[in-house]
Structure 1
Amino acid sequence: LAAKRELRPKRETLGHIAKIVLGEKKLDVDPSKIDEEWEKNPEKVINYCLKDAELALRILERIAVVEKAMDMATVSKLPLDDVLNGRTSTLIDSILIREADRKRIGVPCTKHVYGGERIIGGYVHSIQPGLYHWIIVMDFKSMYPSIIISNNICFTTLNPDGEIVSPTGARFIGKEKRKGLLPGILESLMNERDDVKKKMRETTEPEKINYYNGLQNAIKILMNAFYGVFASEFYRFTNPKIGGSITAFARENIKNVINMLSKEGISVIYSDTDSIFFQSPYENLKETVIFGGKISERFSEGGTILEFEKVLKAFFSHGKKKRYIGKIVWPKEDMLVRGYETRRTDAFDLQTETLTTIFDLVLNDKIDEAIKFSRQVITDIQNGKIPVEKLTISRTVRDESDYKMPSTQAGVQASKKLMKMGYDFVPGMKVSWIVTNSRVTPQTVEPYIDGREFNHAPDMGYYAERIALSVSRVTDVFGVDEKNLLTGTTQKTLFGAFEPKQGKKKKKPEKKELKITDFM
């Protein structure tokens, strides 16, 4: 369970997790024949059990589950067991209720359930499909906690006569008259985190550095969790006016920054909640970094900090919100992927590997190679040249009674077959399978078990179509849709070959200097 929460692996078997974390394999004993194995070779079964226990312990040590939980326990002032097994609201309660008690503020004994209108989330700027170059990414540091502090947002300050008016119309008393309980807690946590980070910088001992780094990260996680529980429908202090005001202030801030940048002639490519992507007027790293630093300084003042997060040499999206890729070249080289199947735990390995290669080619302006590679992978699938383990689909399977039509669920079908083979199944665990016939309803699937031979024929047509659908979200921007990938043809327009869509041309920024106070 700890590894499941920490790693979110595609497959949750000990063998698979041991392979990705430790690079090791578990010993092979067929659980359906464990009694026979014991009769024939008890030493083999003993070693099998010992190896399983050893691998489980070493995985926990490697991913540092207990250490991270201890850091969170220190910050939230809770026992380790409560952190490992409790909800986020339990951690928030521990801090908030203690402070409320000190301030003699009443706390509801039961959780409040809100069933009214939904809180509107953060602002997401529309994005045009295409390939862009030299993109600067800015991020508001601790946006929601900063908004709560600066606007004194709290259930203790919510008042129809308050002088602070949120974009939703809700009013809050200013901190000069009454400092809110929630802003006070967040301010203390911010100061505590700064102190811990200072101690981390001052020490040279590796153990202390690791300890302080874990502690400051735990504080950061807890601070950002406050908004989540206050905006939920089950927390004892839930109030839609509070959650709605926080996101409304955030939307207003981000929109104002976008408008100011646009007035300077800076092309804003995308924005999501607390981050902004805009095009540099320069086509080299050195000048782009200098330009990004100046923008960050101008839009940061007081408690509002617009951090210069990264530079993307190339950035691509097929035009859907929260779906994009980027080639990071500063402050370190890496690939940024959001929203595509490579980020999903239920994507099969071939899907992830194919998309990752295509992303790399596209971000390096090798469009023709990306399309050629896509078609080759699909051809290899159709010709049965793909290793079966790369076609494994894994999903969490609930209890059969939780489904309206369990007989139509591939996961339920696979779990039943898994149990017939002598393997344990517990509702809530991930089950792996391979589709063998998608032309019937429900489709036929067979369980896949790491380290065991798969004696069925995969439905290669199904997998070719799945890959074509995923890949076409990228290639369609360059004139090659799903059908073209499967048939090998190229899309044409009335006037000839399709020309790929490109990012907008960059405009030189005007010299007007802007500050955060311009839009506060």
Structure 2
Amino acid sequence: MTEQEAEYAGDLFGVDPTPGIVAVERAGDRGIRIYHRTHDGVREQLVEFTPWLVVDAETVPNLPRQMSTTLLDGDGRLRVRCDAPNWAAWLDVYRWLREAGRPFATFTSAADQYLVDSGRGLFRGISFDTVVRAQIDIETLGLDPTVEGARILLVTAAINGESAIVFRGDELSEPDMIRALTAWLQSNDPDVIEGHNIFNFDLPYLIERARRYHLELEWGRDGSPVRVGGEQRFKAGARSIPYNAARIYGRHLVDTYQQIQRYDTAGQLSSYALKPAIRALGLARHDRTYVAGVDITAAWDHDRERLIHYAIDDVLDVNVLSELALPTEFYQTRILPRGLQSVATGGPGEKINDLMLRAYLSRGYSIPTPGPPRGYPGGYTELRRTGRFSPVVKCDIESLYPSIMLVDDIRPASDELGMFVPMLGVLTKRRLQAKRREQQSTGHDRAQWRGIQTSFKVLINSFYGYLGYSRGYFNDYDAAERVTLRGQDLIQNIVVQLESNGSRAIEVDTDGVFFEPPADVRTLASEEALVARVSETLPTGINLAHDGRFLGMLSLRLKNYALLGYDGTVTLKGSGLRSRREERFLGQFLHDEVARHLAPDQFGDPRQAYLDLAERIIDGRLGVDDVSRIETITDQTFISPATRRLAEAVHGERIGERVAVYERADGSLARASAFDDDANSSYLLRRLRDFAERFRPLYATDQEFHYTFPIVTQRTDLATLRAARPTSQLTLFDLTN
């Protein structure tokens, strides 16, 4: 590492590499308590702390005399650092600034302020697999802890997925179970407490049941109770999900229900509930015990040991999801001046804000204020061809926007110190190093390096988005526009180069191109050679990579396509081909029809399969899993007239939950658990025909399409329909009674 790189690395990671810090908390009005994990356990350190804010010069005359001020270098509007004599004084000034609408920069957490000032970070020198993490889960009578008859049946806990312990309601009273869990947590002293939907279910339930016995959940490292912070929102991609925030002094709360949603960036999972997510990810143990939610009371009464095994499996599954999804946030915590819980629930824009604020303040430099938001162009997308294509290759510009920013030195205009791009460069270099270490390692070492390189990747990809972040102190919409326009030029040039080499571009989307290669390119080596030739035409630092090869592709409309892999794997992309709200049999229909349209000799005739499925619907041979769909409960579910039927079916469910429902023969919706072979066949046949419409762009004429996918009703003579042959006189009227 060069001297300059080392300097920027200090700006990026903080100047103090002290290892072993697992938590930082405010202690009184002027102190910070630091928890260090050592071989002998956790030790405490108390240090003095000065709360601070950064304001503009016009604000200073209105501040209390007890605030000491320091003029910062540079031309940023926020150029006066104000130090408060204590936390109470800081809080008064903070509230006044918000009410007065004055611009300022700070962190609302004293711990975060300390980490910025000190240059320290949490979990440095600690790998994810050595962090002490507690998993907890409860089984209850009912979901509402306030109703008559509600109580906790079982409390299950484990440390890092091992040594599970169960506190049983047939051996302990409910208050004694709560006390036992608290004692267990204090004895094991975990750094992190995890649960699946812990914010919206386990904690609120435990807190309410404890309150009824005049108890508190004294889980803090200082013996303090869990602090409830009201409703906040967690963002996972475009989704914003409410949750009941809570904090534990000296520990980090992590909800795997949230983390698995961030992990599922491609939106592959149809449910984020614990058991469905584990199954969909292929992580279910073969001996896992299952008990349906509606059967918990009966299992407690008649099959208690089975319920206990089920509860133990739940905490083990929480650990599995944590090991899968949390390392990315964990290794970001080693970089950012924030706690793990804050990193795990915070958005990407705030993380870059943190890095830039720490870097500027560590050099005594002033902070700009966010620029006013405006629109700017996005990535280049184009559907060049529809239809069936075989074979197909995908090429992709590696890290398009970060690469453009590095190559063209695109940075915020307000970045006086020129730190934005160099910090991006340090992260990029560190990520490549970590990726190489991952490839060279095995076992726990490989998992550690995967978590590190993924954490770098997430931060790297956040730099471009930060330019257009409305609350980013260093945002710059002009710079964001330059990046996207440069990206458009590059990807369009790639299309020209591909087609000049005899390829046919099918779809272009921001940083990648699907194309049908020329006839003499049919092996992986020849495909990679073609992509390499095109890459050589790009500027130094911009690299085009081979990103996949497929037996075939159905291109239907922009961003709606299906891919058939050489191994028979089918991938559906786009809202027209996949939706979490579709009935399962429809998703399977689309999946199978893709393979049949691309390789009918191998996978069967599309028309015959369509008619077979219609016959199964008419005969009532589809099961509840086939005819039910997943609905997500939102703020609007119980207030919008458009969702009245759904509201009636899912009464009592929490916002954010996903519930399986189906349509009954009378047109009402019901939970899948109430299925009684009473699905609405007419509705299902209409849905089947609607989904077949996705394939219309593949047919040259309406007549050909209607022959393959005729309208079928419960009165249709399927035998006559099967015997029909495509003729110029064929009409829909000929096919139905």
Q: TM-score range by the shorter chain?
A: 0.7 to 0.9
Cα distance change, pair 259–459 in 1 and its aligned pair in 2 (3 A) = same
Q: Say if 1:290 and 1:17 are closer, same or farther in 2 by CA, change over 3 A.
A: closer
Q: Which residue of 2 aligns with 1:138?
A: 395
State the match for 1:511 in structure 2: none
What is the CA-CA distance between 1:150 and the residue it aligns to?
1.9
Match of 1:243 among 468, 480, 502: 480
User: Relative to 1, partners in 2 of residues 1:232 and 1:392: Cα closer, same or farther, differing over 3 Å?
Assistant: farther
Q: For the structure 1 residues 374 and 476, does the alpha-carbon distance in structure 2 shift closer, same or farther, using more than 3 Å as the test? A: farther
Deviation digits for residues 247-278 of structure 1 (CA, Å, limit 9, x no counterpart): 11111211122234334543222211000122
Shift of 1:398: 1.6
Q: Any idea what SS the aligned residue of 1:277 has?
A: strand
Separation (CA, whole Å) in 2 of partners of 1:467 and 1:248: 42
Paired with 2:615 and 2:705, the residues of 1 have a C-alpha distance of: 15
Instruction: Measure, in 2, the Cα distance between the counterparts of 1:390 and 1:411.
Output: 18
User: Structure 1 residue 71: deviation in Å?
Assistant: 2.5
2:627 match: 391
Give 1:95's match in structure 2, choosing from 326, 349, 355.
355
Inter-partner Cα distance in structure 2 for 1:256 and 1:101: 42
Does 2:408 correspond to 1:151?
Answer: yes
Is 2:378 the counterpart of 1:121?
yes
For 2:676 and 2:568, the matched residues in 1 are separated by: 42
- What is the CA distance between 1:495 and its match in structure 2? 10
1:51 is matched with which residue: 300, 310, 316? Answer: 310
> Aligned residue for 2:191?
none
> Quick check: 1:14–1:26 contact (8 Å CA) kept in 2?
no
2:430 to 187, 192, 209: 192
In structure 2, relative to structure 1, the CA distance for the partners of 1:493 and 1:87 (3 Å cut) is farther
Distance (Å, rounded) in 2 between the aligned partners of 1:153 and 1:309: 26
Query: 1:114-172: CA deviations, max 9, x gaps?
Result: 3x4x33211111232211122222100000101112222222368xxxxxxxxxxxxxx
Q: SS at the partner of 1:137? A: strand
- Does residue 1:430 correspond to 2:658, yes or no? yes
1:221 aligns with 2:471: no
Task: Note if 1:359 corresponds to 2:594.
Answer: yes
What is residue 350 of structure 1 aligned with on the other side? 585
Is 2:529 the partner of 1:272?
no
In the alignment, structure 1 residue 446 sits paired with structure 2 residue 670: yes
Deviates more, 1:357-366 or 1:242-251: 357-366
> Which residue of the partner structure matches residue 164 of structure 1?
none
Q: Which moved more, 1:348-357 or 1:194-203?
A: 194-203
- Secondary structure of 1:299 counterpart: coil
Matches within 5 A, 1:17-416: 17=277, 19-20=279-280, 21-22=283-284, 24-28=288-292, 30=294, 34=297, 40-41=301-302, 44=303, 48=307, 51-52=310-311, 54-62=313-321, 64-76=324-336, 78-108=338-368, 114=373, 116=374, 118-156=375-413, 180-203=418-441, 205-282=442-519, 284-285=522-523, 288-289=526-527, 291-318=529-556, 320-329=557-566, 334-339=569-574, 343-366=578-601, 369-400=605-636, 403=639, 405-406=640-641, 408-416=643-651
Cα distance, 1:266–1:26 mapped onto 2, change above 3 Å: closer
Q: Displacement, 1:475?
A: 5.3
Q: Which secondary structure does the structure 2 equivalent of 1:64 belong to?
A: helix
Residues 76, 94 of structure 1: 8 Å contact kept: yes
Secondary structure in structure 1 of the residue aligned to 2:605: helix
> In structure 2, how many angstroms separate the alpha carbons of the residues matched to 1:152 and 1:428?
42
Paired with 1:491 and 1:182, the residues of 2 have a C-alpha distance of 67
The answer to whether the 8 Å contact 2:353/2:472 transfers is: no
Cα distance change, pair 363–99 in 1 and its aligned pair in 2 (3 A) = farther
Instruction: For residue 483 of structure 1, report the CA deviation from its aligned partner.
Output: 9.4
Counterpart CA distance in 1 for 2:684 and 2:435 is 49
Q: Distance in 2 between matches of 1:456 and 1:113?
A: 57
Describe the superposition over 1:156-198 as per-residue Cα deviations: whole angstroms up to 9, x where unpaired.
368xxxxxxxxxxxxxxxxxxx874321121111111122223
Aligned to 1:161: none
**Where does structure 2 lack aligned partners over 5 or more consecutive residues?**
1-196, 198-255, 713-720, 732-737
TM-score (norm 2): 0.55
Q: Distance in 1 between matches of 2:446 and 2:270?
A: 32
The alignment partner of 1:361 has SS state of helix
* Secondary structure of residue in 2 paired with 1:10: coil
Please identify the structure whose Cα radius of gyration is greater. Answer: 2
| Aligned match of 1:10 | 270
| Contact 1:437–1:445, Cα closer than 8 Å, also in 2 | no
> 1:112 deviation in Å?
6.3
What is the TM-score with the length of structure 1 in the denominator?
Answer: 0.76
SS of aligned partner of 2:519 = coil
Q: Give the letter for the 2:710 counterpart.
A: L
What letter corresponds to residue 291 of structure 2 in structure 1? L
Alpha-carbon distance change, 237 to 52 in structure 1, aligned in 2, over 3 angstroms: farther
Call closer, same or farther: CA 1:29–1:494 in 2, change over 3 Å.
closer
Instruction: Please tell me the root mean square deviation across aligned C-alpha atoms, in Å.
Output: 3.4
**Contiguous gaps of at least 5 residues in structure 1:** 159-177, 420-424, 498-520
Please give the per-residue CA displacement for 1:405-436, whole angstroms capped at 9, x wherever unaligned. Answer: 346444322221xx3xxxxx211211221111
- In the TM superposition, residue 230 of structure 1 has moved relative to its aligned partner by 2.8
Q: Which residue of 1 aligns with 2:693?
A: 472
Residues 637 and 643 of structure 2 are in contact (CA less than 8 Å); yes or no, is this contact kept in structure 1?
Answer: no
d(CA) in 1 for partners of 2:644, 2:308 = 33
- Compare relative contact order (CA 8 Å, sep 6+) and give the higher one, 1 or 2: 1
**What is the CA distance between 1:199 and its match in structure 2?**
2.9
Change (3 A) 1:251 1:365: farther
Alpha-carbon distance between aligned partners in 2 of 1:101 and 1:491, rounded to the nearest angstrom: 77
CA distance in structure 2 between the partners assigned to 1:189 and 1:85 by the alignment = 22
Deviation at 1:402, TM superposition (A): 7.5
> Does the 8 A contact of 2:637 with 2:647 survive in 1?
no
8 Å contact from structure 1 (residues 189, 219) kept in 2 = yes
Mark the CA change 1:364 to 1:103 in structure 2 (over 3 Å): closer, same or farther. Answer: farther
Q: Is the 8 A contact 1:156 1:181 kept in 2?
A: no
Aligned residues: 451
Aligned mates of 2:568, 2:526 — CA distance in 1: 15
For the residue of structure 2 that corresponds to 1:268, the secondary structure is strand
